[in-house]
Chains A and B, each alone.
Chain A
Amino acid sequence: MTTFRLDPFGDLSTEFNRVSDELNRVFGFRAAVGGPPVTLWTDADNVYVDADLPAIDPAKLDVTVTEGDQLSIQGERPAPEAKDSAWVRQERPYGKFARQITLPVLVDADKVVATYEHGVLKLVLPKSEAAKPRKITIK
């Protein structure tokens, strides 16, 4: 039986990625930040969005809802200070980020409530009246 490796360059490619990440870090070419991980759920009245944004100044966050269902979260995470220190490991993303989400239903943009707690941005977006479930009485 012949055995062969599915990914003969596996180790090399991992190593290449590591070196490439390191070069990007040193020379300041950073891959576009994909935006924060988001959890989204709904109930009868609201859409809820939790975005993981540790160590962000909430005053500098830009949250907008346009056309009733386009949610945008933009901001910038400051670069960590490395005064008199050398990096041993650098994994936490920094720089500008933007996340655009299409909500599952239309919301009332004027009544959105945003709070920032323990590094999580929590949004409560009330569903617009037209989008709420309606009980139909059968005649």
Chain B
Amino acid sequence: MTQTALRTKNCRPAVDETEAPRADVLESDHGFTVLVDLPGVLQGDVDVQFENGELTVVGQRKTAKFARTFRLNDQIAADKIEAELKDGVLHLTLPKIEAIKPRKIAVRG
């Protein structure tokens, strides 16, 4: 029984082929900006997750699934990540945690 179930699962047709959307990643002292091209995708069709320094964007576009994972680092303030979908582009802002931002130290004479 289990064997059959497994076999059926492994023989699925290639319907769930996943596309990897194009993306830009920028890093500044303050954090990362990730831009993902998702033309024709609506707000409800995309999920964004951040876990262990990895950002994952998954969703459905027309008949195809898309997924993309970005390994950033774990020095991101996960609770301050912002995402906006506009004109088919997903804009993600991932601020770095305060402690690791470069800081200018005043030297006292």
Binding site for B on A (CB under 8 A): 50, 52-56, 80, 82, 84-93, 118-120
Contacts and interface: CB of A to CB of B under 8 A. Distances in A.
A105 to B, nearest CB: 24
A82 B40 CA distance: 25
B24 A119 contact: no
Nearest to A54: B88
B77 interface: no
Nearest to A122: B40
- Across the A-B interface, the 6 shortest Cβ-Cβ residue pairs: A119-B88, A54-B88, A119-B39, A52-B39, A88-B25, A89-B25
B28 A85 contact: yes
Interface of B: 22-29, 32-33, 35, 37-42, 86-89
Contacts of B41: 118-119
Contacts of B32: 88
A56 B86 CA distance: 11
A119 B36 CA distance: 12
A52 B41 CA distance: 11
A88 B33 CA distance: 10
A119 to B, nearest CB: 2
B24 A90 contact: yes
Given A85-B33, A119-B87, A80 B24 contact: yes
A85 to B, nearest CB: 4
Contact of A92 (B24, B27, B33, B40): B24
A55 B37 CA distance: 8
A120 B39 contact: yes
A89 B24 contact: yes
A84 B32 CA distance: 11
Given A84-B28, A91-B24, 12 more contacts: A52-B88, A53-B39, A55-B87, A80-B26, A82-B26, A87-B24, A91-B22, A92-B24, A118-B39, A118-B88, A119-B39, A119-B88
A87 B87 contact: no
Contacts of A88: 25-27, 32
A82 B24 CA distance: 10
Contact of B40 (A50, A55, A84, A91): A50
Nearest to B26: A85
